[in-house]
Structure 1
Amino acid sequence: RYRILLFNEHNSNVITFLEYYINNKVIPICLSPHMSHHIHPLDVSVFSPYKHTYYMELQE
């Protein structure tokens, strides 16, 4: 099963861990510095409900 890992801006640590990502089926996506406003709707519509559900599970 593959996973996606989003990075807000690129830094050298991504290159350091690239082999780890490949071996563990993680797809890193590095966003340019000025892209965060484009993905903000995802934070509200997708990630917010997920975070809430995750939080509720941890409380049990």
Structure 2
Amino acid sequence: MLLRHNYNATQYLEKLQKRMSKAKALSALAHKLGRCVYYMLKKETVFDETRFLKR
């Protein structure tokens, strides 16, 4: 869902695909999103797209 509606996330995935295959890039993005959700729930904060796509 994130990749369908978010241009910046799509660009980040393309950046990852330059270093690895598409499957590994999707897996890395999913892992990063999972870590993000964990800390959002732990700290009770909202999703910050700029911080998520920073690196």
Place the TM-score, normalised by the shorter chain, in its bin.
Answer: 0.3 to 0.5
Whose strand proportion is higher, 1 or 2? 1
Whose helix proportion is higher, 1 or 2? 2
> Which structure: larger Rg?
1
Q: Given the two structures, how large is their TM-score scaled by the length of structure 2?
A: 0.33
Q: Given the two structures, how large is their TM-score scaled by the length of structure 1?
A: 0.31
With a CA cutoff of 8 Å and minimum separation of 6, indicate the structure with the bigger relative contact order.
1
